[in-house]
Structure 1
Amino acid sequence: MYWNGRRNTIIFKPMKEVFVHGSYLISSLGFGIQENMDKLYGAQSGSALIHDHKYYPEAFFGSKIDHLRFANEFENQFPNLLTEYTFFEKLLLFVVQKSIQNLHFSIDLKNTLVIISSTKGNIDLLAETERGKWENERVFLWKSAEYIQEFFKLENKVLVISNACISGVEAISVGSRLIRTGKFKNVIVAGADILSEFVVSGFQSFQSLSLEQCKPFDSERSGLNLGEAAAALVLSCSENTSPIQVLGSATSNDANHISGPSRNGDGLFLAIQSALDESKITADKVDLISAHGTATDYNDEMESKALSLANLESVPVNSLKGFWGHTLGAAGLIESIVSIESMKENKLIKTLGYENHGVSKNISVVSQSKTHKIDTFLKTASGFGGTNAAIIFQKHKQHD
């Protein structure tokens, strides 16, 4: 919409469609889409007990990227740069480069924006063992963004989205809106978070970490597992060969508590309903829900209530946290990418760790991986500060 200078005349410009193109992810399950999907379908978890005083004095359950393999892969991709960037920055550089390489068309970086999604970035640099190795400003996310911009010689300033655990979903949402309104033709969304003493001790202080593999939506759930991951995907107004588009999205804030979600699910419900409205679809058109599903008492119960309020109780819902834990700012991104692949292949991925129903609403938690027709799916996320996000992806009709 814009004003054309004439009295009482407003011109409405059509909103551009947004398509999903090249993507790449790294997790404790492996490197690349295929490695991860094979292990997800095979119900292999990347989480385990971690005994490393670098992160915490006591053992905790979580998931780690294979650091040695990553160092070798990074050196092959970017020779002689292994010591120039932090681990977090190298993850971002690597997944962005890989997502571009996986495109079936070339993009002009002049019309491309890069968005970074992360909750903590280089927070590991605050550890005593890291003091003095890097300049003090390196701990800030905006500084990492500068290095990414400089490396890829980007004309546009890199945008940082750091909004607790909805960061990944919100980054895709913001990127989509910027394309819809014609601000950019392409947006590369990259997300990463890593294990660190700061993060592990912080969640331990909340007494929210489980001593075993997490069990989303299960009656015996006892808390979350932490994980590290990185991913990137390319959004574009160019349809090209993409069979997937972003239909709509929304965020909300329930303003309940600094670290606890609304007890009745109204905040997440508002985000879900707003995303459905923007997508111009009704709840009965959703074929899959990729939930936040952290396996904490409050989150899973809240999500079940929100899905019930949205009339989505009968829709298959899964959580991927049992495979690689909660990867914070990368979670919404890697789970969206995996669900996109799941939709392409019409396969549901089981909720690893779920055995006995443990939430008050009768939501349809996926207990076994199986074939299922998926044309549209909803991804949800919630986080500290009362944040909630929902985004809807759909197979593009011309590719049915």
Structure 2
Amino acid sequence: MTTRLTLVCAALLSAGLTACSSPGQLNGQNAPAKPTSELSIEQRAGEIAQNSLIIDTHIDVPYRLYKDWEDVTKATARGEFDYPRARQGGLNVPFMSIYIPAAFERTGGGYQLANQLIDNMEALVGRAPDKFAMAYSTEDAVAQFGSGKISLALGMENGTPIGGDLANLSHFYQRGIRYITLAHSESNHISDSSYDLRRRWQGLSPFGKELVVAMNNIGMMIDISHVSDDAFYQTVALSKVPVIASHSSLRSFVPGFERNMDDDMLKALAKNGGVIQINFGSSFVTAIANQYSALRKAAAEKAGVPNDAAFAEIFRQQQPYPFATLDTVLDHIDHVVKLVGIEHVGIGSDYDGVGDSLPEGLKDVASYPNLIEGLLNRGYSDTDIEKILSGNLMRVWREVEAYAAKQ
């Protein structure tokens, strides 16, 4: 059985650190840790959460605050993320989603919105430097671990702000963007979207193929969540480094939902060295929740009334939303592990991005200990849990950094 010190050292070593501090230095106290053998499963989960590097690759705080501002340096009335809950859950490095709605591809303004959302994250750090810090590299994530600060990394959801100009890729890299989700809910100038039946490019556009190469060269992770199957396969064929699915789940549990990844894609992702970060949203992990909106639409049509917010409330009272459970999310993790191995799965919750559809037991950023407890109950070792919490993503991020450094 490992001690708390061993757990922390494993997290740091997985992030590329070659030395480890003493328990007092890491925990801010001089007393030795309680032996793991004396802890309950729940207590062990809490210890692992507090003493491990936890990276969640997709949290939609920037757009949430842009639409409905709250002070997330303290407990908030709305949303799934704030500083106290993040600390309670042990979250160290949330990738804040610089989300650009698909409509901006048509209307313009995506470049400006992306910069504004980045400004807002930097302002958050400026207002509370004791609570938040920017994380631009794996070194930043490791150096700030254990400081009490939440390290904010940035990922751009929807490549629309690139605007067909590689100079904009350099601009956003300089601003801290460390992955780009190539498309969102509609096809754009880079890639076809899994949600868009109009397959304009049959995968990646000519510029999209240039962008994949340029992202490799500059050191930016490529996110294949949201893209069409053809775009996925073209991306992994072109990329010289592993790619990520920052917030996707598995099609085997939700048949026909192209937004998720099927088993053949998982095998191709593993061959590429990449990682799928499991989305927690109920509609991503169970078929019945995924079909709920279609059922509501059909009910509204049958009743001859608009499928609006008022009807949605009535429908939900009569037909409660079929929330997934923690076990459902664990089933997705198990499936990846059994199919392609422990090295290719992590967490990309989509907190603040999937509305009121989060599973029982995983309702906000305070819930990571519940996930860890579930993994322990399913027989995962501490080392394997460390890989899921951050080690796999850090491996990919380091490989992307290392490749770019050689260009």
Q: TM-score, normalised by structure 1?
A: 0.27
Which protein has the bigger strand share? 1
TM-score, L = length of structure 2: 0.26
Bigger relative CO (Cα 8 Å, ≥ 6 apart):
1
